[in-house]
Amino acid sequence: MTATITTREVTIASHDGQSFSAYLAVPAAGHGPGLVLCQEIFGINDFMRRTAQSLAEEGYVVLAPDLFWRQQPGIQLTDGPADMPRAFELYQGFDVDLGIKDIAATLAALRALPEQQGGAGVLGYCLGGKLAYLAACRTDADVAIGYYGVGIEDSLEEAANLRGRLVLHIAEQDGFCPPPARQRILEALGGKANVELYVYPGMDHAFARTGGAHYDKPSALMAHQRSMAALQRVIGPQFDYSYLWDKHCEYEFGTRDVAATMATMVAEPYVNHIPTMTGGVGYRELSRFYQHHFVSSNPPDTRLVPLSRTVGATQIVDELLFCFTHTTEIDWLLPGVAPTGKYVEIPLVAIVKFRGDKLCHEHIYWDQASVLVQIGVLDPQGLPVAGRETARKLLDETLPSNTLMARWKDSENK
């Protein structure tokens, strides 16, 4: 059975002799670098718990302290209109200085856990975004990441005490951080060593809160990748994505073992072959796809010819040639098209996202028009498409360019 993350509640001793609770999420490996996760103004609610679990899947031991415990322990609110007045009431009554001391106590408790190995950082949203900034100034956190922090502009004098690495994600249209406040932050912190500042155009507050009114998936994904890059750079963990992806491809195209292929992926992965919209979302659907429509349907002479690979903080981008003879019906590539016996070579790009040491999703791109031309079901005459020539030119850049441009000759000697 594949190991999974584990969660539990722990008790943390405060600096003044009291105690408060925190939600702990531990990665499947049972150990990893540490992260203190700082809440929004809604307490350690479902979003924060899911975030802790997601970060644990990335390989972190995550401890999310109940920072409202001095006002009302264990509160869990939503961002709906019924809970918003109470959330703002708690926010207005929150003692920031005591909150930072609680974060320092949480960091100390995190470092003392047997599961925590390596460095430790702080990551927070909204109220937690400001607390992450202040933790970078007042605690021994190795790295701090703040999402749309509220009120950072009022504490910029503390930047002289910055320790470790600081990353701030700023929403351009955030009403809680209007343009003058944003400008003060950018001017005070911009250019400082070990500080990364990112402004997300057109985004409002809480653009990374899944299910929220202002959630924006592209911006949330970009912010997450930048956060992971900073965390991995400073505290790890480090994974061999190339090895993991190569093993996945070996199981897909070499041994053609569906169970082994699925074992390289997270519990609920997804695959999207962009041109044909084939693949699957979730373990059950994707396993069905692999079993009946992918692994067994690829022609016997299928070859992957690697051309380049870029390894990032959370993903791999592979550029390759996909080569095969169309001797079987290929459900995922040419659904419903009977075998033509034609040989095909196409440039293909695979963008493979990881969560920890497992594949999370795949986005696969190719030129479907080139495939259709090569198997003889699309006449390229008069169309701006090409067949195997696209693969040939990828390997030999000296081959003529602009052969599909009738007007190319018109610009000669101009």
Question: What is the architecture of the domain spanning 6-235?
Answer: 3-Layer(aba) Sandwich (3.40)
Token couple for 342: 């034609």
End-to-end CA distance of the chain: 68
169 by DSSP, 3-state: which? strand
- Token pair, residue 98, equals 């005591």
- Catalytic residues, by residue number, are 174, 205
Q: Which of 105, 99, 172 is nearest to 130 (CA)?
A: 99
One pLDDT digit (tens) per residue for the chain, 414 residues = 357 899 999 999 999 999 999 999 999 999 999 999 999 999 999 999 999 999 999 999 999 999 999 999 999 999 999 999 999 999 999 999 999 999 999 999 999 999 999 999 999 999 999 999 999 999 999 999 999 999 999 999 999 999 899 999 999 999 999 999 999 999 999 989 999 999 999 999 999 999 999 999 999 999 999 999 999 999 999 999 999 999 999 999 999 999 999 999 999 999 999 999 999 999 999 999 999 999 988 999 999 999 999 999 999 999 999 999 999 999 999 999 999 999 999 999 999 999 999 999 999 999 999 999 999 999 999 999 999 999 999 999 999 999 999 999 999 988
**105 closest CA partner among 234, 40, 168, 11:** 11
Q: Please report where in the chains the tokens 């505290």 appear, as a residue.
A: 235
Q: Where in the chain is the domain with CATH 3.40.50.1820?
A: 6-235
Give the 3-state secondary structure of 343-385: EEEEEEEEEEEEECCEEEEEEEEECHHHHHHHCCCCCCCCCCC
The number of C-alpha atoms within 13 Å of 382 and in the hemisphere containing its C-beta is 1
Chain region(s) in the chain for CATH 3.10.450.50: 241-411
For 241-411, CATH number? 3.10.450.50
Q: What backbone torsions phi and psi does residue 408 show, to the nearest 5 degrees?
A: -60, -40
Element (H, E) at 292: none
CA distance 45 to 43: 5
Q: Is 282 left (phi over 0), alpha (psi -120 to 50) or beta?
A: left
Give me the pLDDT at residue 139, please. Answer: 97
